[in-house]
Amino acid sequence: MNIDQLLHDFTSMRALIIGDVMLDSYIWGSVDRISPEAPVPVVRVRKRDYRLGGAANVALNVKALGAEPVLCALVGQDDAGQKLLACCNQEGIRTEGMVTSLLRPTTIKTRVLASHQQVVRVDEEDDHPAHADEEEQLLAKITALISTVQVVIFEDYDKGVITEKLISKVVLLAKVQGVPTVVDPKKRNFLFYKGVTLFKPNLKELREGLKVDVDAARLPQVEQAVRLLKEMLQAEGILLTLSEHGVYIDYEQKQAKLQAHVREIADVSGAGDTVVAVAALCVALKLSPQLIAGLANLAGGLVCQHVGVVPINKQELAREAGVVGLS
């Protein structure tokens, strides 16, 4: 398939993204001295900005690829929640699936950077499982929206929005509608995603989820672990990201290991969000396993060249795909 045609086909896609949204706060400054109060740097603040993080960053990536994202998540009844929804509106991300919680704050991750280096990160969050009422509100939103989308993405950051009950009900709803489900998991719900279309862990999540030691450089170990995970989840496919060792996919009776592209890495934050967004749209288009893994692998590497959490640049992806002969 021609890469330009493929990326154009993304524009016909609509994705429902379910998961943990976050507000990423960045404080940019400079360090000129050490504090007299403690052996820590004093950051003189030059600029502060807010970006969409977590599941909202997946939505940004879906939008950047030309598809239409719809977010379904919880935000708090607080200033950060208002900022997050305002950022969504500014970016053109639909929020009719959002539920305002009276019981939890909006998750905020504040990164302090000086001379392009991260000095510290401060997290404000409540990661308890969603209350039963919130869970029902989310399911009602999902039920109303699922027939209007071509793919469902679970973006799980273990912040409590995604529960075992929500997973099972949404997967069943999606199967009835013929909508594929793609998962970017975390530890808490790792083995609850039964029957999904494509499950995308990284190596650390695989090791923790299966409680096995896997050497990314040893292909037989990777293959064995992926087979085991696929059987346990009764999933149609697994896309395993292996950092500098590339990616491995087992999907539609085909297996492939793709090497990472050599790059100068500035920041790995948000790379998994990009990978799952690209993979999900490729699954919705019924592309080959090799092409799904290849394009997702390429996109994940590209965003690592930028400081901070940033979505994929579609033109850059098209150019790089042409360079490496991806089609």
Using alpha carbons, select from 265, 258, 264 the residue that is nearest to residue 298.
Answer: 258
Interior angle at CA 320, CA 315 and CA 326, nearest 5: 115
What would the two tokens of residue 196 be? 């999904």
Please pick, among 20, 250, 267, 273, the residue that the annotation labels catalytic. 273
Report helix, strand and coil shares of the chain as percent, to nearest 5. Answer: 40, 25, 30
Max distance between CA atoms of the chain, in angstroms, equals: 63
Using alpha carbons, select from 121, 65, 51 the residue that is nearest to residue 275.
Answer: 65
Name the residue type at position 49.
Answer: D
Name the residue type at position 145.
Answer: L
d(CA 82, CA 5): 38
3-state SS, residue 59: helix
| 196 close to 182: Cβ distance less than 8 angstroms | yes
What would the two tokens of residue 15 be? 């994705």
* Catalytic residue check, 273: yes
Kindly give the interhelix angle for 132-145 and 164-177, rounded to the nearest 10 degrees.
Answer: 10
CA atoms within 13 A on the CB side of 280: 36
**Radius of gyration of the chain from Cα atoms?**
19
| 269 close to 326: Cβ distance less than 8 angstroms | no
| 142 close to 130: Cβ distance less than 8 angstroms | no
3-state SS, residue 22: strand
68-72/14-19 β-pairing: parallel
Residues with catalytic roles? 273
